[in-house]
Structure 1
Amino acid sequence: MTIFRILACAVMLSTAVGVSADEVLAGRLRAACDGFGAEAGVAVIAGGSDTTVVNGGLHCPMLSVFKLHEAIAVARFAEERGLCLSDTLAVTCDMLDADTWSPLRDAHPRGGRFTIARLLEYSIGQSDNNACDILFGMIGGTEWADSCLRSMGLTDFAIRRDEGEMHEDIEACRDNWSTPLEAARLLDMLLSREIIDPANRDFILRTMIGCSTGRGRLAAPLAATGVTLGHKTGTSDRDALGRAIGTNDVGFVLLPDGRRYVIAVFVKDSHESDEANEALIADISRIVYEHYAGGEKTLHPKVKNILP
């Protein structure tokens, strides 16, 4: 059974997302963030409806989390123009910046022809910066992606810079921002509404499940639990004040019995070590998982596991 067919059940059963504070969970999340040397924002949407936030309206640099936004925009762009993700793009060596994170360039230094799907796998699954900017070039840049997502009803975010621009000026990454709540809303929309073609949604979700980055963040406490996690990370360098501008992870968690939640964690302007920033995200992930898996809160709707 495909992701789409199973998630279709969730569409029929779910209600509109609305903020209903869960004080037990919110209190634990606030306690985890208290005294940490950074601004931290958390949003959790459980079962498509119940929402818990801590600093949910904080403007946070997305970093590579915006590659999820881009992927949805790329899918919409392709659909509007009659393209398939199996269609190919020519990638020339001058498109492959030598001074950036790029498994694509490392594997294919001379370029080649790649399907849109393969470039998305590099961008989402491995956070490839060159693949990201090649896809922005295909759709007409960050402005088109921003406009596309706003047409879906999102407002509390901005996409203004591509990876090349952020590489030139570290502070430019602040121009790509989202609130934790809006990032969680986007992922919940992808799971529970038909904002893009079901086959393309199915592909993006599976690519997120295969994400290879950020193993010490949302994924860390979930490794032996039997859950399915799909996620997208974002990571910055440090600014002139020595702060990590952003350490982020946004994902969906499917429990073995089919219940689900979406979680977005952003750690902004941190004076802590990289390891401590990741450990905070892992601790938040643990708290949320234990809250729901432990039966303290009923999750709905119940759907079967998306994996065959």
Structure 2
Amino acid sequence: MLRQSLSITLLWLLSFTAYSQSVVSLNTDIKSLLDSKQATVGVSIWDQNANPIVAINADNQLPMQSVFKFHLAAAVLHQVDQGKWSLADKITITPDDLDNGLWSPIRKKYPTGAELTLAQVIKYTVAVSDNVGCDVLIGMLGGPKVLEQYLHQAGIKDIAVKYNEEMMQQVWQRQFDNWTTANGANQALSKLYDNNEQLLSATSHRFLWDVMKSSKTGKNKIRAGVRQGTIVAHKTGYSGKHNQTGVIAAHNDIGIVFLPNGSHYYISILVSDSRESSDDSQKIIADISKLAWMHFSAEN
């Protein structure tokens, strides 16, 4: 019996040692990848139990851009759970709502306005990063301050939301006031997915994560680093380039990657102040995603 117990202990120690070495190797490989890049990159990778595996510049306050549309959807769904709205409620999109000149598949499909359900507006906002839908939802909530307050009350502290999309996009510097950290992004993902504090009802939780899994943006980011067909629930953000300097303030992707064995991991990558090309900035995210995929796939 003693021999069997010692054998089990030895196997556990060997397994733990191998895992620890794998984590060290993952961190080393990511740092090596970033060494030559002209960008500030925040990286946070957690296992499915929200244990940190990688934290590189993970507490740096970096601009979110459209990443905050995920947080916005959660805040709106919280109000749905409170009985303020229903996902079936009709939301009027007016010509004034459409008149912001920003990216909007809603405008493209309904150039003179439309009546959409709240569920449709959330899907447009998150899955295809619609800016018209985003600002309509922020207006319904009562403004960016209300969104920020909800997030802080939910225990998501490392985030600031000062502007809606229209106001943020008018002045380049304003995007830096809508910030999060890579760790803060993972915290939001894990809190809202694990839902241990019942921040969302079961119905709203399922709706949010179905929408996140249907996201159409960012095919060259986190999704590019995982095996084809892998389910990824994620939200991207992109600033474009500064007209004078050519610097990219934000090329971001945060999400949950679901492994074939049913487990998952959290990964948030915020590429900021990048002097790399747009393609190369996205490749930074894809390459880190691939390293994370290899680590967790080998583990399972």
Q: Is the pair's TM-score, using the shorter chain for normalization, greater than 0.5?
A: yes
Paired residue type of 1:158? A
Residues 237 and 140 of structure 1, relative CA distance in 2, 3 Å threshold: same
Matches within 5 A, 1:26-65: 26-51=27-52, 52-65=54-67
Q: Residue 257 in 1 paired to residue 272 in 2?
A: no
Higher relative contact order (Cα pairs below 8 Å, separated by 6+ residues): 1
CA contact (8 A) 2:50 2:190 kept: no
Equivalent residue number for residue 93 of structure 2 = 91
CA contact (8 A) 1:244 1:269 kept: yes
Equivalent residue number for residue 154 of structure 1 = 156
Name the CA distance, whole Å, in 2 between partners of 1:134 and 1:223: 36
CA contact (8 A) 2:100 2:166 kept: no
Structure 1 residue 215 displacement after superposition: 0.3
Structure 1 residue 98 displacement after superposition: 5.0
Equivalent residue number for residue 131 of structure 2 = 129
Structure 2: runs of 5+ lacking an equivalent: 1-21
Structure label with greater radius of gyration: 2
Equivalent residue number for residue 12 of structure 1 = none
Q: Deviations over 1:261-305 (max 9, x none)?
A: 01000000100000000001000000000001012xx6xxxxxxx
Name the CA distance, whole Å, in 1 between partners of 2:137 and 2:217: 20
Q: Residue 191 in 1 paired to residue 193 in 2?
A: yes
Structure 1 residue 74 displacement after superposition: 0.8
CA contact (8 A) 1:158 1:176 kept: yes
Q: Scaled by the length of structure 2, what TM-score is found?
A: 0.88
Partner SS for 1:158 = coil
State the number of aligned residues.
275
Paired residue type of 1:115? T
Matches within 5 A, 1:64-143: 64-143=66-145
Name the CA distance, whole Å, in 2 between partners of 1:127 and 1:78: 21
Name the CA distance, whole Å, in 1 between partners of 2:282 and 2:79: 34
Equivalent residue number for residue 228 of structure 1 = 231
Name the CA distance, whole Å, in 2 between partners of 1:28 and 1:223: 19
Equivalent residue number for residue 216 of structure 1 = 220
Name the CA distance, whole Å, in 1 between partners of 2:130 and 2:50: 33
CA contact (8 A) 1:218 1:285 kept: yes
Equivalent residue number for residue 173 of structure 2 = 171
Partner SS for 2:225 = helix
Name the CA distance, whole Å, in 1 between partners of 2:173 and 2:91: 31
Structure 1 residue 223 displacement after superposition: 4.4
Name the CA distance, whole Å, in 1 between partners of 2:49 and 2:147: 24
Identity of paired residues, percent? 31
Q: Deviations over 1:222-243 (max 9, x none)?
A: 242x421111000002224221
Equivalent residue number for residue 18 of structure 1 = none
CA contact (8 A) 1:170 1:237 kept: no
Name the CA distance, whole Å, in 2 between partners of 1:97 and 1:82: 27
Partner SS for 2:207 = helix
Equivalent residue number for residue 243 of structure 1 = 247
Q: Scaled by the length of structure 1, what TM-score is found?
A: 0.86
Structure 1 residue 49 displacement after superposition: 2.8
Structure 1 residue 22 displacement after superposition: 3.8
Paired residue type of 1:109? P
Paired residue type of 2:121? L
Paired residue type of 2:45? V
Equivalent residue number for residue 180 of structure 1 = 182
Structure 1: runs of 5+ lacking an equivalent: 1-20, 299-308
Name the CA distance, whole Å, in 2 between partners of 1:74 and 1:30: 37
